[in-house]
Amino acid sequence: MDDCLFCKIVAGEIPSKTVYEDDLVKAFYDINPCAPVHFLVIPKTHIPSVNGINAENSAVVSHIFEVIARLAKEMKLDAGYRVVTNCGKAAGQTVQHLHFHVIAGRDLTLTMG
């Protein structure tokens, strides 16, 4: 999608610090981390949010979670981590391309919202 920040990152038009990439997904560090470890995992195809997931495109979501589990193992996030996706304005979604935050490296037990 032409005017989408994360599509531009996928296309290499905007730089990012890549964590992992394959044909379907890309993982890269968040530019404004909220914890010592904070990266995003996105589908390479443009899906606006969780609301855009359907029977035709949902396979990429299970792949994203496979990738997250593998990266967590490789990055030794054994103490635990959180996976978050914000959907819509009230949830604080600022980039309209489906993305999963992976957050770790500090105590996350006190914050859920």
Residues in 28-57 that interact with Zn ion by CB under 5 A:
46
Q: Which of 2, 3, 13, 32 binds ligand AMP (CB under 6 A)?
A: 32
Cβ-contact 100, 68 below 8 angstroms = yes
9 Cβ neighbours under 8 A, 6+ residues apart: 15, 16, 26, 28, 42
Continuous H helices in 19-110? 59-74
**Number of helices (H), then strands (E), in the chain:** 2, 5
Write each residue from 41 to 80 as x if it is in contact with ligand AMP (CB under 6 A), else as -, in one continuous string: ----------------------------------------
Nearest-CA neighbor of 46 among 82, 11, 93, 86? 11
What residues are labeled active site?
Answer: 99
Q: Which of 11, 22, 59, 92 binds ligand AMP (CB under 6 A)?
A: 92
Q: Which of 2, 3, 12, 31 binds ligand AMP (CB under 6 A)?
A: 31
Binding site for ligand AMP (CB under 6 A): 5, 14, 16, 30-32, 86, 92-95
